[in-house]
Amino acid sequence: MRLILLLLISTLLLSCKQPENVSEFTVRYPVPKQLKPFELVDQNNNIVTNEALLGKWNLLFLGYTSCPDVCPMTLAKLTQINSKISTVQQTQIWFVSVDPQRDSPQKRKDYIGYFDEQFLAVTNKHKQLFPFVRDIGLIYAINDGTDKDYYVDHSASIALINPLGELSAIFKPEFLKGQVPTVNTQHIVEDFKIISQSY
């Protein structure tokens, strides 16, 4: 009788569907991280807080409107990604400008409108911006200097925030020889579905 019971348990365990694994380009948090309170300003000069994250899946990308390559390429990919994942979940794309000195609300509005005017284009002074960026697991740095055409170093990853306003994952870029590091559209779509379906 005991042997039959053990065989039955083993069969049940084997038949249970194992959780799917995400790709090597996604860092998934076993326990999502609650974000600290923040305050940003969008392209319409509206204050944006943690409440804007609630009730939807949010993908946040750092950049700036003067960026020559990574930003426009990633935003173009985010447009494609959002068209696919928004059919299965409610989503919101955030372009977080890490260059508040040059990126005025109108400049951000014009820039994001080229990709999708429904995207949020937010920023704030570095005093508020830097802690927020660090809290979502990303980073940026501006080189000191008087050159008005300065570059801003920033993460090329995308943060995924769940509908409770918690950091659930980081989508990392691919580094291919001779190419600008950008995210892989297919990997993000597939990994997003795995994470959101198990949420």
Task: Name every residue whose Cβ is closer than 8 Å to that of residue 152 and which is 6 or more positions away in sequence.
Answer: 64, 66, 67, 98, 99, 140, 141, 142
Whether the Cβ atoms of residue 95 and residue 121 lie closer than 8 Å to each other: yes
Give strand pairing partners of 34. 166
Please check whether residue 61 is in contact with residue 74, taking contact to mean a CB–CB distance below 8 angstroms: yes
The first and second tokens of residue 139, run together, are 């980073």
Q: According to the annotation, is 71 in a ligand binding site? A: yes
- 122 and 84 in contact (C-beta within 8 Å)? no
Long-range pairs for 4-10: beta carbons < 8 A, 24 or more residues apart: none
> Kind and range of the H or E element at 135?
helix 126-135
Q: Is 187 annotated as contributing to ligand binding?
A: no
Cβ distance 183 to 156 under 8 Å?
yes
**154 carries a ligand binding annotation:** yes
47-51 long-range Cβ contacts below 8 angstroms, 24+ apart: 48/120, 48/122, 50/165
Q: Which residues are annotated as a binding site?
A: 67, 71, 154
Q: Which residues are annotated as a binding site for Cu cation?
A: 67, 71, 154
